[in-house]
Chain A
Amino acid sequence: MASPSPIPYDRRSSRASSTAGQPASDLLVVGGPPNSPSPLELFLRASNLPSSKTRISKIPPDLHMLEYVSSCDTNLICLICHSPFDKPVKLACDHYFCRDCLDHAFEVQPDGHKTCPTCRGRVDTDTGVLPVPKILEKMLDELVVKCPNTKSGCTWVDSRVNVNDHVMLYCEYTLVECPSHECRLPIFQKEFHKGCLHYTLSCEHCHTSLMKKDLEVGYITQRHQKTHCSNRFTACPHCDAEVLRLDLKVHVNDSCPKMVIPCPGTILGCHFTAERTEVIKHENACPMATMAPHFRDQQARIERNEARFEPLARKVGILEDGLSNITNMLYPANPNDSSFPVTNPLDPNHSDAFPPAPLIPTPDFRLPPASFPPVPPTNDQSQTPFNNPSQPPFDSQVHHLLTLHDSLRDEVSRIANALTDLEGRTNMMIINENQRVKDEMLHTNAAINSMRMQLHWLMSATLHQRTSNSTGTSTARAGGSTSSNSNGNGRAQGASGASTSLGARAEASGTLHAPMRRLSDSTRQDTKL
């Protein structure tokens, strides 16, 4: 390269160039079609080969050769290569070129006199070649291209930014070298796992030699048999027309005029059978042939419906099963309650299909006498006449079900009422109980507090007595000192007694023990309240 200027290559190109720079032995196929060997397998395979033979190399796609799906804005086209820019760079004069194209153009220019191909302005290759705006790269990345292997059969079409990954990793039609040791011919990646296909076979029709690999690729085989094969035509055994071997079956089934076929009215009973041309004539006259398509439609519809009906029937069976289970669960068997046998008139075998639990010898639909709340027997007969054994059985299943439903609803509402009642009562009970407990708690608290107070009093009194005893004369100023001491003692002893006299006593004890007394006084009053 003539101009090693510091242009930051974009992500794609740096990856591509680093790939190209690696030794071929490191180039392993990672990924591929689902039926191709896993990367690990390929790696093992490759590592088993002598290193000189490891050569599964792929060539990164040349962006200049890509086929663009949509026409590209002319501003994105490099004036040198006439393709959308690949790794574009910008010159100081605001002219854009592909990195490679510019390098090629500079190659033929004398050193130190590089000029812009468009405007011939001088270009300093060290500082004059600038990166392009990001938006330009973005627009280029988003151009939609076809896979470079489109001619081989790949149908991939996507943004240009992905083409490198597609070709290097995913495209089934990327050429790789044949896995065989002796053979170095290229082969599609999707056939890599099939081993060497580079041997010749002969076409079954014309005995032309073809590469096995070409026969493998379906569309080439078809193309050969359609257009190249010298023996591609054959005479129809019925009408002697020349048809492609590929199309012979279609011809015989659908269009051969001499083929003997039955009248399309066969399904309706027409027994006419003749060559196709005759049958076509007959068709116009045959009413059964005219009807046939409609009948076929109807047939198809009936079959569709039958197919739909079958799962429905199964579903109904399951549901009936479940319903009877539920019924049994709700109204556990009462062995004495066989007085109201309600059989299912629609399905007399019902109980056979779903054998009842051992405890329930009665059929599925039974009234639940056990679950009715205790009502006066007189009311019972008037309200629920069907409960009376003398009454005739229900006129219909529906009636029975409706009555059953009503009784169930009544019961549910009764249960709901009972529940509400119960809830109210429970609530009341809880509140009352709570109140009681709260009161008790208050009492206990008060008692505890008073006890603490007494203790306090006792303690302070004792302490005080001790101090006054030890200091002796120093604390006793006035003549009333002894009397006050005795007074304090007396008070301490009486503290456990009547608390009401305490205020007066504290008053009487004067200012001598002011701090202690005031403290205990205030506390005392609090607890009293």
Chain B
Amino acid sequence: MFASKRLSKELSKLHDHLPPGIELIQADDFAEWLMDIRVIDSNPLYQDEVYRLKFSFSQSYPIEAPEVVFVKDATHPIPWHPHVYSNGIICLDLLDRQGWSPVHNVESICVSLQSMLTSNTKKERPPGDEQFVKYNTQRPRDINFVFHDNQV
């Protein structure tokens, strides 16, 4: 109940106004939304690419963080970033249990990810990406990331 109330408010706001480079693709229910983000400055790493984000909300959103991953399909690649695994899982303190705060919202997450990409210059994956992608069965929110870099 709490989650749907809050999400309906966010949704009506997103329909009203969206920051540049962010687009609402699908929000049919209050469980899973799709958003597209795009880097708006001329970072050559991400030029002309659009990335698709999947938000999964639990019943206790916004008290609990939503699960946010990049999804890959024919037109939407996974962006290169030292905190983004090649399966789309994002290692961002904002989305971690410790780092999350209920004052964040879908829009602010999108903006944070957008700026995370904007400021990046390294075309690389996190260390141990292959291993992680191969063996990880945990859901993103249950992974205890060690935040090795605070400059995101």
Residue ranges of A at the interface with B (Cβ–Cβ < 8 Å): 64-65, 79-83, 101, 104-105, 107-108, 117-118, 120
Q: How far is the CA of A79 from the CA of B6 in the complex (A)?
A: 10
A64 touching B101 in the complex, CB below 8 Å, given contacts A104-B63, A108-B63, A108-B64: no
A–B pairs, 23, beta carbons within 8 Å: A64-B5, A65-B5, A79-B103, A80-B6, A80-B62, A80-B63, A80-B102, A80-B103, A81-B2, A81-B5, A82-B9, A82-B10, A82-B13, A82-B105, A83-B5, A83-B9, A101-B102, A104-B60, A105-B63, A108-B63, A117-B102, A117-B103, A120-B101
Cβ-defined partner of A81 (8 Å) among B6, B13, B60, B64: B6
Residue of B6, B13, B105 most packed against chain A (CB within 10 A) = B6
A104 touching B9 in the complex, CB below 8 Å, given contacts A80-B62, A81-B2: no
Residues of A within 8 A of B2 (CB): 81, 104
Q: How far is the CA of A65 from the CA of B6 in the complex (A)?
A: 10
Residues of B within 8 A of A65 (CB): 5
* A101 nearest CB neighbor, chain B only: B102
Interface of B, helix, strand, loop or mixed by DSSP: loop
Q: Interface residues of B, CB < 8 Å — how many?
A: 14
Q: How far is the CA of A105 from the CA of B102 in the complex (A)?
A: 7
Q: How far is the CA of A83 from the CA of B2 in the complex (A)?
A: 11
Residue of A65, A117, A118, A120 most packed against chain B (CB within 10 A) = A117
Interface string of B78-102 (1 = CB under 8 A from A): 0000000000000000000000011
Which 4 A/B pairs are nearest by Cβ-Cβ distance? Answer: A79-B103, A82-B9, A80-B102, A117-B101
Q: Is the CB of A118 within 8 A of B101?
A: yes
B1-51: which have CB < 8 Å to A? 2, 5-6, 9-10, 13
Q: How far is the CA of A101 from the CA of B2 in the complex (A)?
A: 9
Q: How far is the CA of A218 from the CA of B10 in the complex (A)?
A: 35
Interface of A, helix, strand, loop or mixed by DSSP: loop
Q: How far is the CA of A80 from the CA of B6 in the complex (A)?
A: 8
Q: How far is the CA of A82 from the CA of B7 in the complex (A)?
A: 9
Q: How far is the CA of A118 from the CA of B104 in the complex (A)?
A: 9
A82 touching B101 in the complex, CB below 8 Å, given contacts A104-B63, A107-B63: no
Residues of A within 8 A of B5 (CB): 64-65, 81, 83
Q: Is the CB of B102 within 8 A of A104?
A: yes
Q: How far is the CA of A101 from the CA of B9 in the complex (A)?
A: 15
Residues of B within 8 A of A107 (CB): 63
* B108 nearest CB neighbor, chain A only: A79
Q: Closest Cβ of chain A: how far from B61's Cβ, in Å?
A: 10
Residues of B within 8 A of A105 (CB): 63, 101-102
Residues of A within 8 A of B10 (CB): 82
* B65 nearest CB neighbor, chain A only: A108
Q: Closest Cβ of chain A: how far from B96's Cβ, in Å?
A: 13
* A118 nearest CB neighbor, chain B only: B103
Q: Is the CB of B102 within 8 A of A79?
A: yes
Q: How far is the CA of A101 from the CA of B101 in the complex (A)?
A: 12
Q: How far is the CA of A211 from the CA of B26 in the complex (A)?
A: 36
Residues of B within 8 A of A104 (CB): 2, 60, 63, 102
* B103 nearest CB neighbor, chain A only: A79
Residue of B64, B102, B105 most packed against chain A (CB within 10 A) = B102
Q: How far is the CA of A104 from the CA of B101 in the complex (A)?
A: 11
Residues of A within 8 A of B9 (CB): 81-83
Q: Closest Cβ of chain B: how far from A78's Cβ, in Å?
A: 9
Q: How far is the CA of A64 from the CA of B3 in the complex (A)?
A: 12
Residues of B within 8 A of A101 (CB): 102
Residues of A within 8 A of B105 (CB): 82
Q: How far is the CA of A64 from the CA of B9 in the complex (A)?
A: 10
Q: Closest Cβ of chain B: how far from A85's Cβ, in Å?
A: 14
Residues of A within 8 A of B13 (CB): 82
Residues of A within 8 A of B62 (CB): 80
Q: Closest Cβ of chain B: how far from A64's Cβ, in Å?
A: 6
Q: How far is the CA of A82 from the CA of B5 in the complex (A)?
A: 9
Q: A83-B5, A104-B2 are in contact. List 9 more A-B contacts (CB 8 A).
A: A65-B5, A79-B103, A80-B62, A80-B63, A81-B6, A101-B102, A104-B63, A105-B101, A108-B63
Q: How far is the CA of A496 from the CA of B42 in the complex (A)?
A: 142
Q: How far is the CA of A104 from the CA of B62 in the complex (A)?
A: 9
Residues of B within 8 A of A81 (CB): 2, 5-6, 9
Residues of B within 8 A of A117 (CB): 101-103
Q: How far is the CA of A65 from the CA of B63 in the complex (A)?
A: 18
Q: Closest Cβ of chain A: how far from B104's Cβ, in Å?
A: 9
Q: Closest Cβ of chain A: how far from B88's Cβ, in Å?
A: 26
* A115 nearest CB neighbor, chain B only: B101
Q: Closest Cβ of chain B: how far from A122's Cβ, in Å?
A: 14
Residues of B within 8 A of A118 (CB): 101, 103
Q: Closest Cβ of chain B: how far from A218's Cβ, in Å?
A: 29
Residue of B5, B60, B103 most packed against chain A (CB within 10 A) = B103
Q: Closest Cβ of chain A: how far from B126's Cβ, in Å?
A: 25
* A100 nearest CB neighbor, chain B only: B2
Q: Closest Cβ of chain A: how far from B116's Cβ, in Å?
A: 19
Residue of A65, A79, A83 most packed against chain B (CB within 10 A) = A79
Residues of B within 8 A of A108 (CB): 60, 63-64
Q: How far is the CA of A108 from the CA of B63 in the complex (A)?
A: 7
